[in-house]
Amino acid sequence: MALAYSLFYKFYLGVAAHLQTEPVMDISATNPLCEGPCGSSRVFQAVDPSQIEADPVGRSVPHLSSQQISTGQAMFIDDWPRAEDELFLAFVRSKRAHAKILSVDNSEALTIPGVVEYIDHRDVQGSNLWGMYSPNHEVFASEKVTSYGQVIGGVLAESRDIARRAAQKVKVEYEDLKPILTIKQAIEAKSFHFDPLELHYGDVEAGLQASDHVTEGELSIGGQEHFYLETQSVLVTPKLENDEIELLASSQDLTFLHGEISKIIGVSKNRIVCRTKRNGGGFGGKQTCPLLVCGPAAVAAKKTGKKVRCVFNREEDITITGKRHQMLAKYKVGFMSSGKILALKLDLYANGGYSPDETDSVLTCSILNAVNVYKIPNVHLRGHGCFTNIPARGGLRGYGAPQAIFIIENIMTELAIHTGLEQEQIREMNFQQEGDVNHWNQTLENVNIQKCWDTCVEQSQFQSRKMSVEDFNRKNRWKKRGTAMIPVSFAIGSFPRFLAQAGALVSIYVDGSVLVSHGGVELGQGLHTKMTQVAARALSMPIEKILISETSTDISTNTTALAAGATTVYCSEGLSPLFKDKLLPPMYVIVPSHRLRVPIWTVSVCLLQDFTREEMMIMTFQKNSGKGMDYFSYGAICAEVEIDNLTGEHQVLQVDIVMDVGRSLNPYIDIGQIEGGFVQGYGLMTMEQLKMTTEGQPLNFGPSTYRIPTVRNIPHKFNVTLLKDCPNEKAIYSSKGIGEPPLLLSVAVFLAIKSAIRAVRRDAGLGDHFRLDCPATVESIRLACQDRFTKLLDVDDQPDPAFHVC
- Give the footprint of ligand MTE on this chain (CB under 6 A): 281-284, 397, 520, 523-525, 527, 562-568, 673, 676, 737, 739-740
> Exposed/middle/buried for 693, CB within 10 Å: 0-12, 13-18, 19+?
middle
Of the pair 397, 497, the CB lying nearest ligand MTE is at 397
Of the pair 286, 717, the CB lying nearest ligand MTE is at 286
Of the pair 564, 636, the CB lying nearest ligand MTE is at 564
Strands 41-43 and 233-238: unpaired
Minimum CB separation of residue 566 from ligand MTE in Å reads: 5
Check: CB of residue 574 under 8 Å from CB of residue 559: no
What sign does the CA torsion over 488, 493, 494, 499 have?
positive
775 preceded by a cis bond (ω within 30 of 0): yes
Check: CB of residue 512 under 8 Å from CB of residue 589: no
Minimum CB separation of residue 527 from ligand MTE in Å reads: 4
Annotated catalytic residue, options 117, 260, 640, 740: 740
Of the pair 58, 282, the CB lying nearest ligand MTE is at 282
- Give me the count of residues in the chain: 806
Helices (H), 540-625: 567-580, 590-595
Q: Which residues contact 575 (CB under 8 A, 6 or more apart)?
A: 504, 506, 516, 518, 531, 534, 535, 538, 605
Judge whether 740 counts as a catalytic residue.
yes
Q: How far is CA 107 from CA 112, 171, 269, in A?
A: 9, 9, 36
Rounded CA-CA distance 251/231 in Å is 10
Q: Measure the N-to-C terminal CA separation of the chain; round to a whole number of Å.
A: 24
Minimum CB separation of residue 396 from ligand MTE in Å reads: 7
Of the pair 356, 526, the CB lying nearest ligand MTE is at 526
Of the pair 273, 564, the CB lying nearest ligand MTE is at 564
Of the pair 236, 743, the CB lying nearest ligand MTE is at 743
Minimum CB separation of residue 733 from ligand MTE in Å reads: 14
Minimum CB separation of residue 630 from ligand MTE in Å reads: 13
Rounded CA-CA distance 572/503 in Å is 8
SS3 letters across 631-650: EEEEEEEEEEEEEECCCCCE
Rounded CA-CA distance 36/765 in Å is 36
Radius of gyration of the chain (CA): 27
Of the pair 222, 282, the CB lying nearest ligand MTE is at 282
Q: Which residues contact 681 (CB under 8 A, 6 or more apart)?
A: 397, 398, 402, 742, 743, 744, 745, 746, 747
Identify the helix (H) or strand (E) that includes residue 506.
Answer: strand 501-508
Closest Cα partner for 14 from 2, 5, 23, 4?
23
Minimum CB separation of residue 514 from ligand MTE in Å reads: 21
Rounded CA-CA distance 448/471 in Å is 33
Check: CB of residue 584 under 8 Å from CB of residue 578: yes
φ/ψ (deg, to 5) at 92: -95, 120
- How many CB atoms are located within 10 Å of the residue 234 CB? 31
Of the pair 45, 279, the CB lying nearest ligand MTE is at 279
HSE-CB at 149 with a 13 A cutoff on CA atoms is 24
Of the pair 531, 692, the CB lying nearest ligand MTE is at 531
Check: CB of residue 284 under 8 Å from CB of residue 563: yes
Minimum CB separation of residue 277 from ligand MTE in Å reads: 14
- Nearest to ligand MTE by Cβ — which residue? 739
Minimum CB separation of residue 287 from ligand MTE in Å reads: 9
Q: Give 172's strand partners.
A: 104
Minimum CB separation of residue 678 from ligand MTE in Å reads: 12
Minimum CB separation of residue 360 from ligand MTE in Å reads: 18
Q: Which residues contact 589 (CB under 8 A, 6 or more apart)?
A: none
User: Catalytic positions, please?
Assistant: 740
